[in-house]
Amino acid sequence: MSDDNKNLSDDLNDMLGDAKEGAKKAADKASEKASELADDARELASEAKEKASEFAEDAKETASEFADSAKDAFDKASGDNKKVLAGILGILLGWLGVHKFILGYNKEGMILLVLGVLGFFTCGITSGISGIIGLVEGIIYLTKSDEEFLNTYQVGKKPWF
């Protein structure tokens, strides 16, 4: 019986050695695969970073082109173009005084802007007042003839209504 126990012990030791060797091979293989995946991830991250950088450069270029063209369009705006632009902005964003800034009335634009922003603290009362002023002025701008608008608001510099 002692020989049987010894043989059984030897068999168990052999099986344990085989299991250890198999586990080591599996661990080595898993480590190798993990290393390959890490390399792939680094490569993909590098490509993504490069693509993001290219996209950012394209976005900056496009934004710069848009800003330049908008500035050119605004600078070249004649009385008629400013009339339509100021009228529409007066109707849509009059509560912020944007139409006043378009026409070069910075003080009046700041007054409407402050009233508009104060609306957050006055439950919209001051924003409503500046909005009504902007709406009325926008309609007035659009209903005037080009010559009348030019003489009144750009040459005559009439700031209100």
pLDDT in tens, 85-123: 999 999 998 889 899 988 888 998 999 999 888 888 989
My answer on whether 118 and 134 are in the same domain is yes
pLDDT for the residue numbered 80: 54
Residue range(s) defining the domain that contains residue 139 = 77-155
My answer on whether 70 and 95 are in the same domain is no
My answer on whether 2 and 59 are in the same domain is yes
**Chosen domain end from 52, 76, 100:** 76
Residue 160 lies in a domain: no
Total domains, the chain: 2
d(Cα 47, Cα 38) in Å, to the nearest integer? Answer: 14
Contact 100, 109 (CB under 8 A): yes
pLDDT surpassing 90 at residue 77: no
With the C-alpha atoms ordered 95, 100, 106, 111, is the resulting torsion angle positive or negative?
A: negative
pLDDT surpassing 80 at residue 137: yes
Higher pLDDT, 52 or 31: 31
pLDDT surpassing 90 at residue 143: yes
pLDDT for the residue numbered 72: 65
The average confidence (pLDDT) of the chain is: 83
Written as six digits, the tokens of 107 are: 């003080």
My answer on whether 97 and 36 are in the same domain is no
pLDDT for the residue numbered 43: 92
First to last CA, the chain: 117
* Residue 79 per-residue DSSP state: H
My answer on whether 57 and 98 are in the same domain is no
C-alpha to C-alpha distances, 64 to 59, 60, 61, 71, 78, nearest whole angstrom: 8, 6, 5, 10, 24
Contact 137, 161 (CB under 8 A): yes
pLDDT for the residue numbered 59: 75
pLDDT for the residue numbered 140: 92
pLDDT surpassing 80 at residue 69: no
Amino acid identity, position 155: V
Of 102, 150, 145, the residue nearest 134 (C-alpha)? 102
**Chosen domain end from 76, 106, 128:** 76
Higher pLDDT, 14 or 126: 126
Of 103, 130, 102, the residue nearest 116 (C-alpha)? 130
pLDDT tens track for 22-34: 888 888 888 898 8
Residue 34 lies in a domain: yes
My answer on whether 58 and 32 are in the same domain is yes
pTM of the model: 0.50
**Chosen domain end from 57, 76, 95:** 76
Specify the DSSP element, H or E, that contains 28: helix 2-75
The mean pLDDT of 150-161, rounded to a whole number, is 79
pLDDT surpassing 70 at residue 13: yes
Residue 27 lies in a domain: yes
Higher pLDDT, 4 or 99: 99
